[in-house]
Amino acid sequence: MNAKAAPLSLPEIDVEEFRKVVRSRRSVRRFTDEPIPDAVLEDCLELATLAPNSSNLQPWEFFVVRTPELRGKLAQACLGQNAATTAPVLIAIVARPDTWRKHARLALENWPKEEKLPSIVEKYYKKIAPIHYNQGPLGLLGVAKKTAGLVVGLSRPVPRGPYSVNEMKVWATKSTALAAENLMLALRAHGYDSCPMEGFDECRVRKLLNLPRKGLVTMVLAAGRRAENGVYNRQYRFDQETLIHYL
Ligand SMILES: Cc1cc2nc3c(=O)[nH]c(=O)nc-3n(C[C@H](O)[C@H](O)[C@H](O)COP(=O)(O)O)c2cc1C
């Protein structure tokens, strides 16, 4: 973005090491009792937050549960699934469709000190984002933006959203899911494993962890050391022709 920024030095990467991480990641349903060291967990969470995300607004939060009592209750809210009841760590990965305004300020405050803030970036966070992400009272601004988009979109490409509170939820969830995947791969790279879970009672999870009212629990991630019987079946995917389309 900044033409004067120092060129990034790219490290050598062994694709086979990356392949090992990706290929050995499985959804693990049983863990040993071994705890994940704090330093490992902190590193994985930091790597999670390096995921790409919309406008760098980082619309996610991670609620890490390790104490046995709270973990036990959370595992029950995860419907008593084996992954949840055996994991030494449970992490509620929460999308925040509502933090964009505060985070737009943070994006400016956190701009790297070594680099001059480009005026276009300042304008984006101060002027454009407040229109783009704000849906207004009762979502009426969103309706107005959608209508304007439909008209202007007849003659040129325009953004087609987010134009509603629900679209903001999708917006935040997209970035949060990428952070979740980073977290799972980071755990694997450290020799640990995970199981993403959407099988949980969201009302109970929210109440138990006292989560922010507008946060969406994208997943609860069970994490720990894979037990010998932790993987239930061989991994398989559909034929690439079904899923990948070269146009
Ligand atoms: C959003 C999401 C929700 C999931 N929810 C659960 C769950 O509640 N319980 C579970 O055992 N596995 C859950 N999984 C794991 C999937 O079943 C698993 O990823 C899939 O079967 C492929 O297996 P693999 O991850 O080992 O490749 C979930 C995965 C994702 C991405």
Looking at residue 226, its pLDDT comes to 98
CA 245/CA 190 separation, integer angstroms: 34
**Pocket perturbation via mutation, ligand 1, pick of 198, 221, 235, 236 by most ligand atoms within 8 A of CB:** 198
**Pocket perturbation via mutation, ligand 1, pick of 30, 90, 197 by most ligand atoms within 8 A of CB:** 197
Residue (of 194, 164, 201) closest to 179 by Cα position: 194
Using alpha carbons, list the distances in angstroms from residue 235 to 24, 238, 239.
10, 11, 13
What is the Cα Rg of the chain in Å?
Answer: 21
**Going by CA atoms, what residue is nearest to atom 30 of ligand 1?**
196
Q: 81 CB under 6 A from ligand 1?
A: yes
First to last CA, the chain: 30
**Pocket perturbation via mutation, ligand 1, pick of 22, 24, 27 by most ligand atoms within 8 A of CB:** 27
Looking at residue 8, its pLDDT comes to 78
Token code pair at residue 221? 């991630």
Q: 198 CB under 6 A from ligand 1?
A: yes
**Going by CA atoms, what residue is nearest to atom 13 of ligand 1?**
197
Helix (H, G, I), strand (E, B) or coil at 154: coil
Residues 6+ apart with CB under 8 A from 243: 237
Residue (of 197, 220, 198, 196) closest to 208 by Cα position: 220
**Going by CA atoms, what residue is nearest to atom 20 of ligand 1?**
27
Q: Tell me the CA–centroid distance for residue 126 and ligand 1, in Å.
A: 39
Over its length of 247 residues, how does the chain's per-residue pLDDT go in tens digits? 444 556 678 999 999 999 999 999 999 999 999 999 999 999 999 999 999 999 999 999 999 999 999 999 999 999 999 999 999 999 999 999 999 999 999 999 999 999 999 999 999 999 999 999 999 999 999 999 999 999 999 999 999 999 999 999 999 999 999 999 999 999 999 999 999 999 999 999 999 999 999 999 999 999 999 999 999 999 999 999 999 999 9
**Going by CA atoms, what residue is nearest to atom 10 of ligand 1?**
197
Which residues does residue 193 pair with via DSSP β-bridges, in sequence order? 224
Closest ligand 1 atom to 26 CA: 26
Burial code (b: 16+ CB inside 10 Å, e: under 16) for 41-67 equals beebbebbeebebebbbbbbbbbebbe
Q: How many CA atoms lie within 13 A of 160 on its CB side?
A: 5
Residue (of 171, 173, 176, 106) closest to 132 by Cα position: 171
Looking at residue 4, its pLDDT comes to 54
Amino acid letter at 157?
P
Looking at residue 6, its pLDDT comes to 60
Go through the domains of the chain in sequence order and give each one's CATH number. Answer: 28-232 (3.40.109.10)
Q: Tell me the CA–centroid distance for residue 196 and ligand 1, in Å.
A: 6
Q: Tell me the CA–centroid distance for residue 133 and ligand 1, in Å.
A: 31
